[in-house]
Amino acid sequence: MKWLVTFKKGIDHGKALKLLTELGYQVPSQPRFIPLGEDEETIEVEGPARLPQTARENENILKVYPSSRMSAF
C-alpha cells in the first residue's frame, strides 16, 4: 500500500527517510520530497496499512494520506 507522508518543511531529509525505514516502510530509491505550501513537504512511501496509526505517535510526522491509483477516463 502506498502513502503520502507529510513533514514540517525543513526537516532533515536523511532523518525523515531513516525514520520511515525504522517504521517499516520502503522509501523510493530516488526519494523526492515535494513542497506543500510554505510549511510542509511530502514524500510517497510504500508499506503496510498501519502507517497512519504508527505515524500518529511520531512527533516528526504531520499526517499520512493514502496514495491512490487513478485511471484514464
Partner 1 sequence: VAKVQVLVEVIRPVPEAFTRFAAAGTSPREAVTQSESVVSKLGDLGLEVVTEAPPIPLFAETERAAFAAFASAETSPDHRATSTVVACEIDSSKVNELAGRPHVKVWPNSRMEPFPRKRCRCGGQAAIGETIHLDESRAHPFDLARSAATQTDCRPFRPAVTLDIIRTLLAVEAVWRDGFRGQNIVVGLIDEGVSDFYPVIGGHERPGGSRPGTASIQSHGSMCAADVLVAAPFAKLYDYPFLAGQDAGSSGVALEMFQAILDQRRVNGTPHLTSNSYGFYSLPSRDEEPNHEAYDPDHPLNRKVREVIASGAACFFAAGNCGEECPAGNCHSSAIGPKRSISGANSLPETLAIAAVNSRHERIGYSAQGPGTLAAQKPDLSAYSHFFGNFGPGRPAGGTEKNFDNGTSAACPVAAGVAALLLSAFADLSPDDIRLALTETAIDLGPPGWDANTGAGVVNAGAAYTWLQRRGEEGSEEAVPVPRPRSSKRPSRGGRGTT
Q: How near is the Cβ of 30 to partner 1 at its closest, in Å?
A: 5
| Binding-residue pattern over the window 12 to 51 for partner 1, x denoting contact by CB under 8 A | -----------------xx-x-xxxx----x-x-------
Nearest to 56 by CA among 48, 46, 64: 64
CA dihedral 61, 23, 18, 29 (to 10 degrees): -100
Cell (9 digits) for 2: 502506498
Contacts to partner 1 by CB under 8 A: 2, 4, 6, 29-30, 32, 34-37, 42, 44, 52, 63-73
